[in-house]
Structure 1
């Protein structure tokens, strides 16, 4: 009984040993197949044929050694342990030899094999080989090697569209590597990675790969990093966001579904596939929602807006980054009401008004122009939060630009004043008190553009329609005289600006002081000429001024 029991107990152990042996043999066979595949793949390499031949020789020697182990193991089970000991000792010797070579300095960066950049017209295979080598350096290189590889990659992407396709399609997790480098502690690597990402973001075909790859969150963190990121990094981060917010991607889940998927690590990538990727990430948490939906377009809201507002007003930010931040705020606000509200609540209105300050030496003419256009997009098209706009001192800024800005700034300021004047009577009163009426007359006298003259005349007419503003306007004799002067010279048909000036005079005739100022002006003859040519508004004004009595006065003046 004892011997039979021992035999039964030994049987499972022998079976287990046999299974382990089979597993090891299977792994050796897989290794042999992998080495054979590497040797075959290396035959297609066209660059450095001698180097590749040496690599193939070593792979073949490794293949032969593993094949010997496989044969020996199959023929002689008792010798397996001895063969494995021999292999382990050989590997230890190779490792020791590599340590000696590394310590000798033979593997220094100066002796590293550097793949040259393919020339113009190179095949996609050559470009692929070069780009993959750069990514190998980015993944495993030292600090200086990573900097140079990142710079070379950015340059290659800028110069050759094929490189963009290779990074997005042919490099395993190429976009993922670039996204991870956006938060590299080395500022130079971070800057060059942002440059590479910005080039890809400018490609319509591959921009969506960045969004799905989770690029938004690290880019926003660069913008929101304060002194932790360089000005160049922030400028490039703003450029990436300027390219990415309107990216249309494949249909995603409903807003309610997206609202429930709150992931701080990938900043709400919005395609269905990307949302699934978010769910698989270990970092999913209850961070505040970073996106809102408008049709099939997704917009970043609160967290990115906060960073962009900070960037648009930062004293240490260069002008290009400020401009890009303001442009992006305007683009976000043009999405829907929730996106616009997010922009406003983060202080964008006040920040943009401060950007108009002419006393600031850090604000260029271009930056003020972009700020005016952003204010138009956020607050005036359609009108919203105009109370915040006025409370921030917007009227004084616009008036200053009308008086002292260059031609482009004056036109943008005039457009803003024209839009603002249409909002409410209270705003028209505020504009009258601030001094906009005589300024509109000055614009009418100086502007060469018919569009500018029409906007100025329309703005003046709207302000004069308010009783308090009319009283203020006629107190200065020059205002009425200049409006009458602008009615000439004679033309076959009155221009739109001239018709609006006639409407302005019609408002002035509602008061006796306005009528007196018109009748006593030396330029009243221009009004009479228009009435004689049967211009309806001119005839009505003449009639309202007193008809034949006024005509006799005119004749008395003309006869002098």
Structure 2
């Protein structure tokens, strides 16, 4: 029994090897027939354009067949063998058309020759389509990473169709790296060429469906490229509806609603696609039905601002155009607290503005929504922020307008907002103070008299964003550059020590805010009282460390301070 089993296994192995050798021989025969026909067709003088198109099809077949290997799956080989036989037969039959196309004899006339060339082209098209089908079935795999090159600018639709179909074939059956490369190439060509969008939507079998399925691909690189490809289709008015019909909304919402570990870039892309799909409240019900309202509000609450929050707000504004969805957002989804929080605490202006505009859209024509906004305490905060923005835009450039503001006690109002504890208002007040410092010398003197310098030092220590710290440091440096302000700053206890403390070595290289602080210390070191304050501070070591790190401004300050006492403090480590 064992011997019989071994004989059967050996016989099966021999048969498999014979089949493989047969396939290789047939593949070589088909490739040789194609190459020979391409070479011979170059001598054809009649109907040169038709022969050019035929050569293009032959070259596509040759490239597709030359770059494959065959799997051992027996049930998949029959279709491939049949294709190889038909390709070789078609190429051999076409040989008879070459001499007829050289003008020696027509064999039925030019009309008959034209008809025969059209039949040949159609037969080759059928072979290309069958090769795509066999490849998509998994019977064939690419032997090398090289694939069909991307068509150049102005390429025909046939060339684009062949290229895009090849990319989809690799997406469907390729390995991990091949799928990533194909997804990147597909998103790039869709982004750069509108004609390819039409090809995917109309000429590739279930092309939109394949992309929709890839939206939830576990490979993040493939997923992000699929999102870019879907975004390109969503930007086409003619084919945007194909995404909705293909079921894109549900996976887009799931991408947006993924946990904290999900890539922020993927969420941003998903939100941008939903923006395009919901313009003018289109498809609003579809988004809401798949849990889109909750997912979008979650994105607003967890992002802290940025492009994700902006895109989510834009989608929600489109959804708010439907009365029933707007009521659901307020009554059930808790939209108002989320948006009020975003409008007051987002790190960037764009997100805050989007949140304000969405609040206005939600509250328009709805008494319950307006009452909810008022109860959240947003009205006063928003009104003051808008007022500050308006003053900043209209009144801080012309000197005459600035004089009127100062006469009206505007500086004291800005100063009170700096002390308010409201992060949004503090940020706006800081921007206004920063602008005021650049108006004139008299304005800087007035700000020093009003007490801005200690508040700017406090803001420097409390600010969370680099932008806010830089604005506060630059404003402080501008104020201290005025002699009267500098004298006041030195006399008030703790100011110089706080500036030195803020020089603490949190980063290897000085930030823009620290560079402005060093410039401030440079101004302070111009007076003997300033130098004494610096030397007597317990935080002078921070300045020493920056000088040790060869920070030019820090070394210049040290040199300006000078004196034997300083040299003993710094252990003679510099050659001054």
Using the size of structure 2 for normalisation, the TM-score is 0.41
Using the size of structure 1 for normalisation, the TM-score is 0.42
Larger Rg: 1
